[in-house]
């Protein structure tokens, strides 16, 4: 209720600010809302076929616990059965354009995922392909473009940006844990125990979720636009209502998620995903989820809030790039693919303070890039930290340094090498943390090499 | 008698002056004259043809090259008022490049859309894009279709 009031108040304020902001820009300004939701006016194709492939090799140097068992952070997803291997984590094919090219007021975006990730290959949901974008934008109302369908929700930079230009192989812990949503199973699902190498190779599973990850997407309706406010500054907004079920076409709790996004960017030049500028942004998402977290045979779904908010900035002016973002989370704190009912501990603790479903979390990251002048090389460095279950007796801290090198064969093809140094621990002085740290102590470094080809 | 003759001469001269812009292509003294043609749906052709015009302007001394871009069919989208390249059209126009929009295409699009597409103010509607190209070629313009 309070969240709804806040949403309405913020929306009203944003509307007033934007009414004063000026006239709408032509489409295809340098921001994700416009890049993904519109087409260049008078210059788009009827059907522009495009996509990208990302294949990688990763090796996790983590050690097993003293009993020889592994937990998900020590294994490679989505299968979670090995510590090294090749994978095609993204293979996406899409088409976008203006169906009736002389009328720029309507455009569409359609894309499917064929890669091996938790979009297509989760425990109970193995499919060859999954539709991840299917939207139509109506550009009729000045200052209020309307986008409907399945698409990325207005939110954190890491989730909203085009993933094929993401400068790292893996997400930050805060984005992976607090934003990349895992949806509760319809019925209570017990925690999966840590597995030995033999168990994993014999088909043991550490992924208890039955539906795909949210993919930073939702099905719904968004009103958005960008405005030139003078002196090369651009203000953009988006307000969205969605089912709150990610890429699944259902509304399992019967209520709708609300999203709000505002950004202001000083544009330095260029266009497309690598446009240069200094952007400040803020966003919020408010929703609820149903979760059966009682270990019995009764269907007793309980509703929990799932609210997220963030503030950040991005500076891009070659040869330098810098990004920082702070994110807070309230409710539905993901505890790991082996904890599908959002508990770190077993059911005996289900009503205790270690319940991630109503806990809070937060995190932030800073990252920077240096495009070495007169070369095809790029150096990247990122630090991210996240706290899950704040002040609970199983409060966790995830810290990670990522060192990256990229070589751009051409603007559409590059290789990315990342080395991650991870420090994961349970920080409370409790029995739960003692148990958790038996597994987390062994979490070690991780290396990845990824080849990206966009077409 | 002399006054009447002078009045008549002045009126005739005024008419010539009024007609002058329309005949600019016929009477210009440029050493090189190009007609660039766009009728493609492919959006990349829009940038290409504008680049061609810009490169020609850069290659010759001021006044030495005369350029007219003629658009018809799907290529007419280049001259829509809301086209993403509108600023480039303005800039090229200020450098002397002329833009001719096919009237026949405009009529057809108006019928399909139910309303006339708004054109960039720098575009001048000619009765037929293909006819205009023929006229310019007859006048010695070099025809280029990127």
Query: How far is it, in rounded angstroms, from Cα A238 to Cα A154?
Result: 7
pLDDT digits (tens, 9 = 90+) for B84-107: 999 999 999 999 999 999 999 999
Please give the pLDDT value at position B109.
Answer: 96
pLDDT higher than threshold 90 for residue A5: no
A40 near A28, Cβ under 8 Å? Answer: yes
Please give the pLDDT value at position A340.
Answer: 84
- Residue B80 contacts A, CB cutoff 8 Å: yes
Query: How far is it, in rounded angstroms, from Cα B29 to Cα A208?
Result: 79
Give residues with Cβ within 8 angstroms of A217, minimum separation 6.
A132, A133, A150, A151, A152, A153, A246, A247
Please give the pLDDT value at position B22.
Answer: 42
Name the percent of chain A lying above pLDDT 70: 90
- Give the residue-averaged pLDDT of A443-447: 98
Please give the pLDDT value at position A368.
Answer: 97
Please give the pLDDT value at position A30.
Answer: 52
Query: How far is it, in rounded angstroms, from Cα A151 to Cα A109?
Result: 9
- Residue A99 contacts B, CB cutoff 8 Å: no
Q: Who has greater pLDDT, A220 or A340?
A: A220
Please give the pLDDT value at position B4.
Answer: 53
Sort out which chain A residues have CB atoms less than 8 A from B42's CB and list them: 45
Contact B80 A41 (CB under 8 A): yes
Sort out which chain A residues have CB atoms less than 8 A from B90's CB and list them: none
pLDDT higher than threshold 70 for residue B27: no
Contact B109 A101 (CB under 8 A): no
Please give the pLDDT value at position B28.
Answer: 67
pLDDT digits (tens, 9 = 90+) for A229-276: 999 999 999 999 999 999 999 998 889 999 999 999 999 988 888 899
- Residue A139 contacts B, CB cutoff 8 Å: no
Name the percent of chain B lying above pLDDT 90: 76
Query: Which range, of A185-189, B2-6, B10-14, averages the lowest pLDDT?
Result: B10-14
- Give the residue-averaged pLDDT of A92-106: 94
A419 near A405, Cβ under 8 Å? Answer: no
pLDDT higher than threshold 90 for residue A21: no
Query: Which range, of A39-43, A287-291, A354-358, averages the lowest pLDDT?
Result: A354-358
- Closest-CA distance, B83 to chain A, in angstroms, reads 4
- Give the residue-averaged pLDDT of A177-199: 91
pLDDT higher than threshold 70 for residue A114: yes
Look up residue B76 and give its DSSP letter. G
- Whether ipTM > 0.90 holds is no
- Give the residue-averaged pLDDT of A62-77: 96
pLDDT digits (tens, 9 = 90+) for A294-304: 777 788 888 89
Give per-residue burial for A351-376: e unless 16+ CB within 10 Å, then b.
eebbbbbbbbbbbbbbbbbebeeeee
Contact B84 A41 (CB under 8 A): yes
Domain ranges of chain B: 30-144
Sort out which chain B residues have CB atoms less than 8 A from A43's CB and list them: 43, 46, 77-78, 83-85
pLDDT higher than threshold 50 for residue A438: yes
- Give the residue-averaged pLDDT of A80-85: 94
pLDDT higher than threshold 70 for residue A196: yes
pLDDT higher than threshold 70 for residue B24: no
CATH H-level, domain B30-144: superfamily: DsrEFH-like (3.40.1260.10)
- Closest-CA distance, A102 to chain B, in angstroms, reads 7
- Give the residue-averaged pLDDT of A413-435: 94
Please give the pLDDT value at position A319.
Answer: 96
A174 near A189, Cβ under 8 Å? Answer: no
Q: Who has greater pLDDT, A23 or A309?
A: A309
Contact B42 A41 (CB under 8 A): no
């Amino acid at each position: 209720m309070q969240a709804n009031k806040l949403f309405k108040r913020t929306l009203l304020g944003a509307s007033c600010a934007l009414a004063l902001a000026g006239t709408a820009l032509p489409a295809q300004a340098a921001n994700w809302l416009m890049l993904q939701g519109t087409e260049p006016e008078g210059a788009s194709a009827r059907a522009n076929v495009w996509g990208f492939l990302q294949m990688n090799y990763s090796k996790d140097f983590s050690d097993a616990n003293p009993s020889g068992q592994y937990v998900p952070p020590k294994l490679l997803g989505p299968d979670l059965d090995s510590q090294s291997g090749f994978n095609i984590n993204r293979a996406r094919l899409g088409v976008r354009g203006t169906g009736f090219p002389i009328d720029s007021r309507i455009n569409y975006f359609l894309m499917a995922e064929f890669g091996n990730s938790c979009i297509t290959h989760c425990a109970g949901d193995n499919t060859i392909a999954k539709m991840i974008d299917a939207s139509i934008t109506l550009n009729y109302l000045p200052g209020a473009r309307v986008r409907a369908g399945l698409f990325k929700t207005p939110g954190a930079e890491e989730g909203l940006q085009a993933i094929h230009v993401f400068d790292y192989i893996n997400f930050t812990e805060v984005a992976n844990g607090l934003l990349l949503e895992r949806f509760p199973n319809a019925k209570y699902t017990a925690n999966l125990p840590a597995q030995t190498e033999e168990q994993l190779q014999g088909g043991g599973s550490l992924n208890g979720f039955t539906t795909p990850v949210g993919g930073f997407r939702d099905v719904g309706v968004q009103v958005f636009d960008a405005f030139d406010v003078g002196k090369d500054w651009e203000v953009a907004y988006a307000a969205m209502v969605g089912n709150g079920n990610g890429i699944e076409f259902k509304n399992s709790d019967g209520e709708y998620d609300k999203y709000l996004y505002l950004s202001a960017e000083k544009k330095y030049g260029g266009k497309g995903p690598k446009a240069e500028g200094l952007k400040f942004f803020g966003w919020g998402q408010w929703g609820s989820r149903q979760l059966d977290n009682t270990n019995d045979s009764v269907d007793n779904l309980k509703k929990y809030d799932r609210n997220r908010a963030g503030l950040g900035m991005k500076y891009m002016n070659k040869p330098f790039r810098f990004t920082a973002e702070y994110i807070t989370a309230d409710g539905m704190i993901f505890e790991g693919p082996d904890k599908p009912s959002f508990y770190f501990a077993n059911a005996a603790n289900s009503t205790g303070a270690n319940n991630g479903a109503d806990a809070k979390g937060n995190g932030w990251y800073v990252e920077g890039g240096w495009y070495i002048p007169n070369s095809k090389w790029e150096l990247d460095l990122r630090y991210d930290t996240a706290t899950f279950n704040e002040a609970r007796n199983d409060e966790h801290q995830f810290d990670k340094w990522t060192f990256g090198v990229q070589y751009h064969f051409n603007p559409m093809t590059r290789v990315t090498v990342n080395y991650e140094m991870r420090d994961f621990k349970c920080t409370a002085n409790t029995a739960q943390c003692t148990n958790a740290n038996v597994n987390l102590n062994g979490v070690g470094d991780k290396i990845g090499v990824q080849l990206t080809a966009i077409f | 008698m002399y006054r009447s003759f002078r009045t008549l001469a002045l009126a005739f001269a005024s008419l010539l002056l009024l007609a002058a812009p329309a005949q600019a292509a016929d009477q210009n003294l440029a050493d090189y004259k190009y007609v660039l043609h766009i009728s493609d749906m492919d959006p990349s052709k829009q940038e290409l043809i504008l680049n061609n015009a810009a490169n020609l302007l850069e290659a010759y001394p001021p006044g030495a090259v005369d350029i007219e871009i003629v658009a018809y069919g799907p290529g007419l989208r280049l001259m829509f008022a809301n086209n993403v390249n509108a600023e480039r059209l303005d800039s090229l126009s200020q450098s002397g490049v002329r833009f001719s929009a096919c009237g026949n295409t405009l009529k057809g699009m108006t019928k399909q859309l139910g309303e006339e597409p708004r054109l960039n103010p720098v575009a001048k509607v000619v009765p037929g894009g293909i006819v205009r190209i023929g006229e310019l070629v007859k006048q010695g313009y070099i025809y280029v279709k990127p």
